[in-house]
Amino acid sequence: INLLNFRPNELIKSKVSYILRSLQDHITGNMI
């Protein structure tokens, strides 16, 4: 990935989706 061409809002979106995914894994892991 060329960071100069990488728009900040896409970086934030990917970071948010990563956090949501890890939260979801944590929640489902606790339910099992």
> For 2-27, what is each residue's pLDDT tens digit?
666 667 788 889 999 999 999 998 88
Integer Cα distance of 30 and 32 in angstroms = 6
What is the predicted pLDDT for the residue at 4?
67
Question: Would you state the structure tokens that stand for residue 28, as one six-digit string?
Answer: 């489902």
Q: What are phi and psi of 26, to 5 degrees?
A: -65, -45
Residue 21: predicted pLDDT: 94
Asked if residue 32 has pLDDT above 60, the reply is no
At 20, the amino acid letter reads: L
* Res 31 pLDDT > 80: no
- Tell me the whole-structure pTM to 2 decimals: 0.55
What's the pLDDT score for residue 6? 62
